Copies of this chain bind each other. A is one copy, B any other.
Amino acid sequence: MRSNQYSDKEIAVFNGLVGLLKQGKSLYKIKVSEIAKAANIGKGTIYDYFSSKEEAIYLALLYYLNNEMTRVVSEVESTSSFKNKIYKLLDITEENIESKYSSLKTVLSAKDISSMYDLIEGNENLIDSFINYMGKIMESIVTAGENEGYINKSYSSYYKKSAIRCILIGFAQFVSHKECYKDVNVDLAKEVAYTQLIKMLR
């Protein structure tokens, strides 16, 4: 596992790469020369900081995931009340799905990414890291829900967290394929998700 402290050049590579993804470039078609150009550095320079294209991509995704999730965690934690936290998460999910590139999307296809690139699925991999962050978020939400009386404390921890995860992924599914649900708009889908959650937890 590499240090969390990255040099300017490394961060330039990360930002360049994520920038390309946000422009809609497919992860599977990115060329080293494109990354270099997007990062405003020479092609060879990438190899001064990363041992391969694979590594550069992997670390970029990890870096971006960490940044993004750190932000999400703090946003949710700084949001008051159970209901607001849930809606905040649904909002973030919506944005993520709608954008050309997001960590959420990466995580949803992370198995494929690691199957494409022979990344050492070491201690710290994308999904583990993501699940870790989600754990913190769930924790924060469960605590709020219990304090505010929305959650029946007799449920197991897994049950409670699982319920939240469920409605999130279900909502993500909706956003991903809105066109299949012509009679449902986003706000309604959020309401449905929230209602379902309340029913599961009480």
Chain A: residues with CB nearer than 8 A to chain B? Answer: 26-29, 105, 108-109, 111-113, 115-116, 127-128, 131, 156, 158-159, 162-163, 165-167, 169-170, 173-174, 176-177, 180-181, 183-184, 188-189, 192-193, 195-196, 199-200, 202
From B128, B159, B177, B181, A127 is in contact (CB under 8 Å) with B177
Minimal Cβ-Cβ distance residue in B for A159: B192
The residue in A105, A169, A195 that gathers the most chain B C-beta atoms within 10 A of its C-beta is A169
From B27, B111, B165, B195, A170 is in contact (CB under 8 Å) with B165
From B29, B112, B170, A166 is in contact (CB under 8 Å) with B170
What is the CB-to-nearest-CB distance from A118 to chain B, in angstroms, rounded to a whole number?
9
Minimal Cβ-Cβ distance residue in B for A116: B28
Kindly state the separation between the CA atoms of A196 and B200 in the bound complex, as whole angstroms.
5
From B27, B127, B189, B193, A112 is in contact (CB under 8 Å) with B27
Kindly state the separation between the CA atoms of A28 and B112 in the bound complex, as whole angstroms.
8
- Which residues of B are found within 8 Å of A131, using beta-carbon distances? 177, 180
Determine whether the beta carbon of B26 is less than 8 Å from that of A116: yes
What is the CB-to-nearest-CB distance from A115 to chain B, in angstroms, rounded to a whole number?
4
From B28, B128, B166, B192, A158 is in contact (CB under 8 Å) with B192
Determine whether the beta carbon of B128 is less than 8 Å from that of A180: yes
Minimal Cβ-Cβ distance residue in B for A112: B109
Determine whether the beta carbon of A27 is less than 8 Å from that of B180: no
- Which residues of B are found within 8 Å of A116, using beta-carbon distances? 26, 28-29
- Which residues of B are found within 8 Å of A163, using beta-carbon distances? 170, 196
Determine whether the beta carbon of A115 is less than 8 Å from that of B28: yes
Minimal Cβ-Cβ distance residue in B for A170: B166
Determine whether the beta carbon of A184 is less than 8 Å from that of B158: yes
What is the CB-to-nearest-CB distance from A41 to chain B, in angstroms, rounded to a whole number?
19
